[in-house]
Structure 1
């Protein structure tokens, strides 16, 4: 019995701005700051490798003194709409009905919602009343793949079932107006909002790439590297400057033993489906694997077009591969990183 990916679909918020259009908002936000600091911040935005960002909030709302409550209410209201939209699109692409879903996983870390997103989706789409729910809230950028791992384990234990993983994120809702730290500035420069849904199946008749193997990898004593502090003004980004270098140091342990268990090396992998954490992380991966003839062009392109949308982003990369033609037997390696610090990996075979 195998577990396969049936399809992937994305949904984008209604607000969007190019980097060029965001610069005037930076002038207003940084008014009164040292001129050299202002120039540095603008350079960070201009050199982030992100041409456009989408948002559940208007730029005026992002760069104004909205309260935590106001921002979180937008996250809930607009996030439910966006989550439903990507789930409906995925079901339509798969030619499935909402009642076909046995297991619903929702992942998000950029707001607080109780009941969780899955409860709203069940009502909105009139899904079955016995659908199994799993909300995943604290795994950050890694949660798109984490959700797929949980779905695979459920489906492997339950042949003839189907699962949906919905990732919905609004990093814009975590922007801190009075925080001029590098963590807040860099996150504002690289992050955007978005949602995506991946459908998985343990039906014999459903086609798609098989999830051959999956594993998580935990970095010891690295809890400080990434996450959020909960403050009176909302979720404050924690982003250590050492993240790219730490990832590079651990890459051999993350990649090679995982593939070796399937009697594979990186040379055997046809497609790298990596989460675009940011421009520096993309550059680190390219330096490591470029010499082996591997590329992460789709990862870089998703970062350029949308920014880092936390857990949803790797699913945007996956969608590009799912929509392209493939030969039987081709392999893909999915990889994302998140708070903990941790790495999540899935091996695919078409």
Structure 2
């Protein structure tokens, strides 16, 4: 039973600033810091390959000291708004009615809400009362693809069904005003807020790229590399500087066995649908595959226009490819990384 991607939709928060417009906020935030340190922070922002970032909060709110409760309340409120808008947009794009959905997966790691977002969407859009729901909350940037993998497995076992994966992230809500660590600064420089929804189907005659295979890959003994620490002031970013090098060292094991399993080599892949984790990770991936004539231009463009929106970002990259209507029969490889440390892969046939 084939499972196909019907469509992808995105939704951005109302606030945004260019990197140039963010610099004055840095001056106010870093007013008591050493001048050399201030120059270093500005250089990180200016060299992050992110031209613009969106936010669920006005930048003044982001750089104002608030409690974890206050920030999380904003996250909950805005996550519901973004989630409803992006799901409605995707359903309209697919010409599906809300009650046609059999399975809903919501993905987020940048705030805490119980009931989870899917419960609010069931009520807000009047989804079916017997819809199956799955919230994915702790897989970070990898979770957009993780949600697609879970949906694909459900749909493959249940022909004639439809699923929605909704990723809503607000890394700006995790910004720590009193934390001047490199992890917090780099996170603020590369991350932005956004939402995406991808619809999958196992119905007969459905159009869209087919998911040929999917697989997860787990790095041993690298739990320390990425994640959040829950503190009294909120979710504090954990981000090891060795992430790009660690990813590079594992690439042969991540890519080649997965492709070999499908009787393919990297040369057979036409489209690289990679998550833009940050400038260094993008450069690492580009260096690895440029000799094969592969490019990750869409990945770089998403990073430039929106920043890293955690789990939602790779879906923005996928949307760009789908809007270009790739040649029929061409193959795409989706890839993202997240806490654990882990890599998630999906093989597509357009």
Q: TM-score, normalised by structure 1?
A: 1.00
Matches within 5 A, 1:174-253: 174-253=174-253
Cα offset, 1:326, TM superposition: 2.1
**d(CA) in 1 for partners of 2:138, 2:146:** 11
Matched residue, 1:56: 56
1:316 aligns with 2:290: no
SS at the partner of 2:196?
strand
Cα offset, 1:328, TM superposition: 1.6
Cα offset, 1:324, TM superposition: 1.1
SS at the partner of 1:149?
helix
**d(CA) in 2 for partners of 1:206, 1:96:** 12
Runs of 5+ unmatched residues, structure 2 = none
**d(CA) in 1 for partners of 2:251, 2:25:** 38
Write the deviation string for residues 96-151 of structure 1: whole angstroms up to 9, x where unpaired.
Answer: 01001000000000000000000000100011000000000000000000000000
Matched residue, 1:271: 271
**d(CA) in 2 for partners of 1:287, 1:327:** 25
Matched residue, 1:336: 336
Write the deviation string for residues 78-111 of structure 1: whole angstroms up to 9, x where unpaired.
Answer: 1100011111100000000100100000000000
**d(CA) in 2 for partners of 1:243, 1:109:** 19
Matched residue, 1:113: 113
1:43 aligns with 2:43: yes
SS at the partner of 2:329?
coil
Matches within 5 A, 1:68-79: 68-79=68-79
Q: Where has structure 1 moved over 3 Å in runs of 4 or more?
A: none
Cα offset, 1:2, TM superposition: 0.2
**d(CA) in 1 for partners of 2:83, 2:296:** 27
**d(CA) in 2 for partners of 1:184, 1:320:** 29
Cα offset, 1:228, TM superposition: 0.3
Matched residue, 1:306: 306
Cα offset, 1:205, TM superposition: 1.8
**d(CA) in 2 for partners of 1:19, 1:56:** 17
**d(CA) in 2 for partners of 1:322, 1:66:** 40
**d(CA) in 1 for partners of 2:113, 2:88:** 21
How many residues in Structure 1 have an aligned counterpart in Structure 2? Answer: 350
Runs of 5+ unmatched residues, structure 1 = none
Cα offset, 1:10, TM superposition: 0.1
**d(CA) in 2 for partners of 1:168, 1:327:** 30
Matched residue, 1:94: 94
Write the deviation string for residues 232-286 of structure 1: whole angstroms up to 9, x where unpaired.
Answer: 0000000000000000000000000000000000000000000000000000001
Write the deviation string for residues 21-55 of structure 1: whole angstroms up to 9, x where unpaired.
Answer: 00000000001100000000000000000000000
**d(CA) in 2 for partners of 1:97, 1:203:** 15
